Amino acid sequence: MALILDASVQLSDAEKGFITVELKKDDVNISVHTASLQDLPYRKPVDEITEKALSLGTVKQRPVRSRPVGRWVKFLVWFNTYRKFFIVAMTLNLVGIFLTIAGVWDYPRRYTGALVLGNLQAAILVRNELFGRFLFLSVNTLFAKWTPLWFRLGCTSALQHLGGIHSGCAISGCLWLMYRLALIFIDLYNNHNAVVVFGVLTNVTIAISIGSAIPYVRNTYHNVFERWHRFSGWTALVFTWIFVLLSDFYDLESHRWIAGTEIFRQQDLYFIIGMSFFTITPWVTTRKVKVHVEIPSPKVAVLHFERGMQQGMLARISRSAVWEYHLFGVISEGKKSGKHYLVCGVQGDFTKQLVENPPTHIWTREVKVAGVSNTSTLYKRGIRVCTGTGLGASLSTCLQNPDWYLIWIGSSQEKTFGPTIAKMIHDNIEPERMTLWDSKERGGRPDVMKLIKEAYVKWGAEVVFITSNFQGNQEMMEGCKAAGIPAFGTLWDY
């Protein structure tokens, strides 16, 4: 935020931690530097500094630029890092396939399995909770606050959109497998029937798993996606093991099965071992745990669990050990709080049953998923915007980090979400650090972009994180892009 005054300003030593004075001809630029707030022995709201500066001279405040959302802005929001990762992965592999078919690149003809399984392993790896937590921890530890803002924004964007690598590599692996099958059918006479059969079965099950994850299916029929994607994927892994072993043990020249240590020299074996390891490890941490379900209203169930957690985590829960799992944001006051909560809005059969038939125990994975909010520690100051039950993925950041501002928009907030959530908010977040907009009390929804822009300037924020429904997320992301405000919104690719 920059203020231009007509007169010079005398500042106390403490205030110099907040304000830098720069002479420009007859004017004076005063900039509020939020980077130094955390280093001061006390925290003075930015508003007080702003008010003092306003009282010292005739002030013109530079507004956040605003312009209509055009097609170019909509395209920039649509063409996010997810799609960039996807295009890069697909392009590299398609070029490789083309060069191989054209006879320019010979390696894939001899080691097609390495291209198939290498892509599939990369797809599984970036979706592994342990690997994801390692990446988030590394970035948050090494690059927090001191690196250039553009670099930190790039880190958040890359971590949030790893799904683009997952999708691109999975489809590419399936395409390389189709190429491998084509080679088998071309040389069908020399291949054993078992190799052919399991090659086809592997390709079909992988294709089904990929098809069930198409955005329309995943977002419209979530249970179909969960079941088919998971169980087809597991079946494909078993078939891949059989296909790899049969292919490596069958000698095309002698038409005989050859058993021995030669298989340990094959790349395929180590790729399939890696795939299996990264597929199994998340399930090793699956536990059936106690849960207390608070039902403040027919619209919401608040699940209480033992164990405090760091901010920015997402939890998968299910009524059964291996059936469909549902992802919710984790609310906790900190690792030492001893409690964490999930806010589950009633939207489908699973959440409806939480209200109508509350469980005493539920299945969950002990290793939680790191969400975009986990990168909030990278930034000096930020704004967390959410609507309705999006509070579940947002609140922990503002509870645990005093440099983050909360904007929450909902209807009958305290009545709908209950005393537990209301108490956490009011006990941990100062009034000047939040905007709670109850559309029931205020007679309608606000101009959300107006709230964001005002808070962005007032709070001296570097970034905005958004959790809302599809339409709300789209409007806010496009509005922030048009206003030049760095923002990250909700994803639907988990």
Average pLDDT on 78-86 reads 95
- pLDDT at residue 421 greater than cutoff 80: yes
35 shares its domain with 53: yes
One domain for residues 218 and 173:
yes
Whether 156 is covered by a domain: the verdict is no
Structure confidence at residue 1 (pLDDT): 38
CA 245 to chain centre: 36
- For 13-72, what is each residue's pLDDT tens digit? 333 333 333 333 334 343 443 333 333 333 334 445 444 444 444 333 344 555 567 899
Indicate whether 358 pLDDT > 90: yes
- Cβ pair 28, 79 in contact under 8 A: no
Asked if 260 and 330 sit in the same domain, the reply is no
Q: Assess whether 256 and 295 both reside in one domain.
A: no
Of the residues 33, 61, 89, the one at which a domain ends: 61
Q: What is the mean pLDDT of residues 335-357?
A: 91
**Per-residue confidence (pLDDT) for residue 66, from 0 to 100:** 53
Is residue 67 situated within a structural domain? no
3-state secondary structure (DSSP) of residue 301: strand
Tell me what pLDDT residue 226 has: 83
pLDDT in tens, 391-411: 999 999 999 999 999 999 999
- Look at the block and give the residue holding tokens 């130094």: 36
pLDDT interval class at 151 (50, 70, 90):
very high
Is 226 among the domain residues? yes
- Domain boundary residue, one of 32, 61, 90: 61
Spatial CA neighbour of 396 closest among 490, 304, 465, 313 = 313
pLDDT, tens digit (0-9, with 9 covering 90-100), for 429-457: 999 999 999 998 998 899 999 999 999 99
pLDDT band at 189 (very low <50, low <70, confident <90, very high): confident
Query: Cα–Cα–Cα angle for 237, 239, 244, nearest 5°?
Result: 95
| Region of residue 6 (phi > 0: left; psi between -120 and 50: alpha; otherwise: beta) | alpha
Is there a single domain that holds both residue 366 and residue 487? yes
Q: How many domains does the chain fold into?
A: 3
Q: Which of 4-8, 69-73, 339-343 has the lowest mean pLDDT?
A: 4-8
Final residue in a domain of this structure, among 237, 258, 284: 284
Looking at residue 65, what is its pLDDT? 54
User: Domain holding 309: CATH number?
Assistant: 2.40.30.10
In terms of domains, do 170 and 182 share one?
Answer: yes
Asked whether residue 143 is assigned to any structural domain, the reply reads: no
Residue 148 lies in a domain: no
Please check whether residue 335 lies inside any domain of the structure: yes
Does 489 share its domain with 421?
A: yes
Pairing relationship of beta strands 463-467 and 326-331 according to DSSP bridges: unpaired
Average pLDDT, the chain: 86
Instruction: Evaluate whether residue 105 is within a structural domain.
Output: yes
CB 340 within 8 A of CB 314: no
Are 256 and 326 in the same domain? no
Q: Are residues 90 and 118 in the same domain?
A: yes
35 with 87, same domain: the answer is no
293 and 276 in a common domain: no
The parent domain of residue 303 ranges over: 286-494
Q: Is residue 494 part of a domain?
A: yes
Taking Cα atoms as reference points, which of 413, 359, 461 lies closest to residue 149?
461
Let me know whether 291 and 226 are in one domain: no
DSSP, collapsed to helix, strand or coil, labels residue 80 as coil
